[in-house]
Amino acid sequence: MVEESRRYKVFAGSRGEHLAQEICNQLGCKLSRVNIEHFSDGEYAAEFAESVRGQAVYLVQPTCPSADNLLELLLMVDAARRASASSVVAVIPYFGWARQDRKDKPRVSIGAKLIANMLQVAGCDRIITLDLHAEQIQGFFDIPVDHLYGLNTFADYIQSLNLPDLIVASPDEGGSKRAAKLAIRLQTPMVMCYKNRAKANEIAEMRILGDVRGKNVVIIDDIADTVGTLSKAANLMMEQGAKSVRAVVSHGVMSGNACEKVENSALTELVFTDTLPFDASRCPKVKILSVAKPFADTILAIQEHHSISEFNQNK
């Protein structure tokens, strides 16, 4: 019988190397090599440095903008398929374009569906991802999607802080379900922010629905992009008498001047996972938690044909 470490191989794209190495550390295997060759005109190609014939291939790469990261993943999928891999699994810690999940105004694209189509046409047999912006994106795929949740990681961290007078907050109506699950897990009350946007990434108005006076507030969200909502919510909560405000977020996109906004805000700390590479020294208030273990556990469960629900509870 072929030993476990040789029945599958884990590779990483250029934006997935750090998390992929941590996943391999959890699995007790080496990170296999793939060469991404860049040409002077900006084109690039993917080539596996070792045989994948007859093996399950796991490709770790977030599809965050720019589109180069997505195309790099698609090229790796195609290369693995053409190299006779038995199966090709895209491990997408952060699924980019997920905020384009519906047609909410005339003549717009549904980017998340387009990305799902591209991954399937390229030859993916399965997707592993964490905290999609909208869970219904799983339905855009006609292949299995293992959707992991950061809830357990965040709950364990918050409980380790032993904060008194704890309350959970959602930064908007769309995140209320996520916040409610964390509140149930921590056995705390919950409040919600109501906001109106003037346009994308710009908030016109925000109100707190609920009482945060004398509370240590934990805001939970899926994406920290410009951090406008989080910083504004934290400032407003402190003005309304909160003891402290911290945020736990699945994906630290941190675009533009997000670090500056965090440092100048009332946030005590901003906690996110390592689904995207980020240099924490850029922002002293940032703390990064690893989600390598749930990804590694999922890979082993797939290899051994076990259920992932035992360690992937979302309640």
83's CB contacts (< 8 A; 6+ apart) are 48, 51, 52, 53
Q: Residue 208 and residue 297: Cα distance in Å, rounded?
A: 38
- For tokens 């990305």, name the residue: 115
Asked if the peptide bond before residue 290 counts as cis, ω within 30 degrees of 0, the response is no
Strands of 244-252's sheet in order across: 202-209, 190-199, 166-170, 216-224, 244-252, 270-273, 286-289
User: How distant, in Å, are the alpha carbons of 179, 297, 298, 315 from that of 311?
Assistant: 20, 8, 9, 11
* Active-site residue flag, 195: yes
Q: With the CA atoms of 247, 250, 253 and 258 taken in that order, what torsion angle do they form, in degrees rounded to the nearest 10? A: 0
Of 25, 265, 140, 2, nearest to 12 (Cα)? 25
* Residues 6 or more apart in contact with residue 43 via CB below 8 angstroms: none
Beta carbons within 10 angstroms of residue 128's beta carbon? 23
Question: How crowded is the C-beta side of 38, counted as CA atoms within 13 Å?
Answer: 5
d(CA 251, CA 248): 9
User: Of the listed 195, 285, 287, 293, which one is catalytic?
Assistant: 195
CA angle 208, 212, 214 (to 5 degrees): 160
Catalytically annotated residues: 195
